[in-house]
Each structure stands twice: as structure tokens, then as C-alpha cells.
Chains A and B, each alone.
Chain A
């Protein structure tokens, strides 16, 4: 279980998180929605320790995320980055098997390659892409490789940062289905940030709406349309009029 308790973060004069409280139960898929610049990525990166909160406590299974063995802590996580964040200098299979080629999860090279190819197959890529470089792949294929890398070490917790940004609707649907299948199949705890409502409905067990640095609404995805929350309503229906100021 992941909990964020009164988490604050500011960058210069901009107060991004102003007391975020959120609980993600083990094995559930939580999707955080909210407009651009509302701090969704900051919240996610704070859990991973990529950003240090100014105030508040983040715990994973009851333990303070900022303390203890970082390597051990991070070995429990997999993450799909918005742009894939694949390493240009490494081939596709070396990207997927990155964690398996070094550190505490190191395996023999042949075994790591085998696992990488199996994970590539899992995300719908054929073994012939294994020896290509990321720059030789399309955006959709890069996302799939990023997804394969995120699940390569069988993590307990997977984070997805804007998984469908920049993809056409069909490829977005494919990625959404893959994410849902993988999360269910692995029994992983998932935290996704997006503003793509199709993704939300495909991926989420629960939804949290982040606005003005706080969680405005949280609940099961099935309750989202009848929430009665004016912020959530405006956001999910994409209305320019409402409590969320839209800059024209």
C-alpha cells in the first residue's frame, strides 16, 4: 500500500503540492487525473524519491519511502515514462534487460536477453526488434519497449506517466489494454497519471482528481460520472466553464 500524507512541494514561488493525501491499496490501479501543471508528475516522482517533498510523509507498505536501502526499495518498482526514456546508446533488449544486467537483480547475459525477448513478446513486439536501437522504432513501439522495461524485473508496483501521450487513438487503446492486462496478470499495484479519459476508464480501479495542489476527489472509477464534484465534472466532460479556470 502506498500512502501520501500531507505532502507539500514548491518550486520557487510556485506551490505545486499543497497537502496531498492519497492511499493506493495493494493490488489496485489508481489513476491520478488533473490538468497540465497541477503536480501529477511531481506526486509520482516524489514517491520514487526523484523529487524530495518539502513536507509530509510518503510510505510504502508502512515504511517511510525516503529511508532505508534505495536499491532494494527501487527494485520493487517499474516505471513507464511519458516519452519512453529509452537509452539511445543501448539496443532494445539491453534497455528492457537494463536492471537484469547490473545491480542486485543481475542475471547472466543470455538469460537477461531471453527474459527481455519474452517481455517484448508480452507487449506485442517480435524478437527481431531486440537488436534495434530506440531511434529506429516508432513512438508506439518505443512505448511498448518502455512498458516491457517497466515489467522486466516483475515489480510489485508499476507507475505509468502519461502512457498514451503522443499516440494515435488506436495505439492508445492497445497500450491501455496492455497496461490493464499486465497489471491484472501480475497483481501489481499501479499508479498512473494521465489526462486521457479513455485511459482512465480502461486502466483505473480508482481515480483521484488533483487540482490546486490537493486531491479534490477520489473514488472508484464507476462512481466518477456521478460524483457531483464540480471540478471532476468539468474535467471529465472537458468543459471550458466551471470552477477550474481555463486560460484562453
Chain B
């Protein structure tokens, strides 16, 4: 083995990764363009809304509630070290709305929705259902990708908003039930401290994360390999890619909204 072999291997992996990013970007631009061009598949859009939005509510609600509660406990305990226990409502609110709400919802959607979309579309590909769509004069990007991505762009910000509220409520339950906060003061402090930009950034992140989650599910599904192994790889790859891209996008969006 030559001395340059490890460098060549890294180079090959880097090129493959860059090619993947390029293909995914082209796929995303095509997927987005199909959202605004007819024909539109209303039934598929409504089904996607139900599956991505309504059916994700329990997992999003529970995750947000427990995270809000745990955050209240952490802030109270950490704040006590420098006599700042009183900031629990404010920190829980800002923590949930600016950061934890969108990121946790994004990751939950990546786990629940991205994997499901990738597995479903990959199975359709393996069983020739995608080819069947084409022979039935139906564009797979329009029929499968566009409705799912559009539904995610609309419904994930709503889920983030609901997650934010439930997370703050989790903090409120712990704060008033366990940490001795007055309920009215807790609510007032939360409401006074939150700004419009906080809420806007939260919903904007939800929109971007939703788009990433649905797009990665569709991309990996459409490009899956053959057989059960291909479906498995597509599902795993889609969740990994969605999670990493969501966290990277979170950093970029946070920089954009709050760097000043």
C-alpha cells in the first residue's frame, strides 16, 4: 500500500460526499419547483398533512413537555449557584422558543416522518411502484415529493409553535408545582420576556427543518438501492442526513437571527 493511499481514500470519500450534496441540492430544487407547478395532488397533500402534522402531535407534545419540565429544574438548580433562581420562567421560555422547541421537534420529525417517508418511497421503488406511476403518466416528484414537502413546510412550524407552548407549560407545571413559583407571576414573566423575533425565529426554523426532513426522506427513498437492504440503508441514511442538516441549519438560522 502506498503512503498516499489514506489521503486518496479521504479524497474519494470527500468527493462522494460533495456529489451527494450536489445531487440532494438538485433534487431539492426540483422538488420545490414541482410544488408550484400543476398538476396538484390534493388528496396526497391532505394525507401528508395528517401523517406529518396530526399524527406527530403526541410525540412532539410529550417531548416538549418533559424537556420544558427538565429545563425548569436545571435552571432553578444552576441559577441557585448565583442566586438567580427567579429567572426560571424567562430562561425556560427563551430556551424552548428559540432553541429547544424547534430543534427537538425537528429531530422528532426526522425520526418519525423522514424515516417513514424514506421507507415508504424506497419500498415503492423496490416493488416497481415508482415505475408504475411513470407508466400511468404521473410524475413521481409531483405525486410523492411535492405533497409531502409542502405539507411539512406548512405543518412543522405549527408543530414547533405547539411544542413551544407545551414546553413552556411543562416548565410552568414544574415551576409552580415543585419549585414554589406563583402561577400568575410565572405566566407574566414568561409573556413579558418573549419577543416577536423569538417566536418568528422559532417558526422559521420549523419551516426549514420540516422542509429538510421531508426532502431527505423523499431523496433517500427515491435513490434507494435494491431489496430489503436498500430500503434499510435509505431509511438510515435519510434520518442521519436530516438530523445533521437540521442541526447545521439551526446554527445558521440562529446566527442569522441573533448574531447581532
Name A's B-contacting residues (CB within 8 A). Answer: 45, 48-50, 70-71, 74-75, 77-79, 81-83, 85-89, 98-99, 102-105, 149
Contacts and interface: CB of A to CB of B under 8 A. Distances in A.
Q: Which 8 A-B pairs have the closest CB atoms?
A: A85-B132, A85-B128, A74-B137, A79-B135, A81-B128, A71-B137, A103-B137, A99-B136
Contact of A102 (B39, B47, B131, B132): B39
B17 interface: no
17 contacts: A45-B131, A48-B135, A49-B134, A74-B135, A74-B137, A79-B135, A81-B131, A82-B128, A83-B128, A87-B129, A87-B132, A88-B129, A89-B47, A102-B39, A102-B41, A103-B137, A105-B137
Contacts of A74: 134-137
Contacts of A88: 129
A245 B11 CA distance: 41
B18 to A, nearest CB: 21
Interface string B89-124: 000000000000000000000000000000000001
Interface string B22-52: 0000000000000000010100000100000
Contacts of B47: 89
Given A82-B128, A102-B39, A102-B41, A50 B135 contact: yes
Contacts of B41: 102
Contacts of B197: none
Nearest to B41: A102
A85 B131 contact: yes
B30 to A, nearest CB: 16
B216 to A, nearest CB: 21
Interface string B187-227: 00000000000000000000000000000000000000000
B127 interface: yes
Given A82-B128, A86-B132, 11 more contacts: A48-B134, A50-B131, A75-B137, A77-B135, A79-B135, A81-B131, A85-B129, A85-B131, A87-B124, A103-B136, A103-B137
Contacts of B138: 98, 102-103
A88 B134 CA distance: 16
Among B39, B41, B128, B136: residue with most chain A CB under 10 A: B136
Contact of B132 (A79, A89, A105): A79
Q: How large is the interface on B (under 10, 10 to 19, 20 to 34, 35 or more residues)?
A: 10 to 19
Among B39, B41, B124, B137: residue with most chain A CB under 10 A: B137
Contacts of B131: 45, 50, 81, 85
Nearest to B44: A89
Contact of B134 (A50, A75, A78, A86): A50
A229 to B, nearest CB: 31
A98 B51 CA distance: 22
Contacts of B135: 48, 50, 74, 77-79
Contacts of A87: 124, 129, 132
Interface string B119-154: 000001001110110111110000000000000000
A48 to B, nearest CB: 6
A53 B235 CA distance: 30
A222 B131 CA distance: 33
A75 B39 CA distance: 16
B136 A98 contact: yes
A84 B34 CA distance: 28
B8 to A, nearest CB: 20
Interface in B27-79: 39, 41, 47
A88 B39 CA distance: 22
Contact of A81 (B39, B132, B137): B132
A70 B137 contact: yes
A242 B112 CA distance: 54
A125 B141 CA distance: 32
A112 B20 CA distance: 42
B214 to A, nearest CB: 17
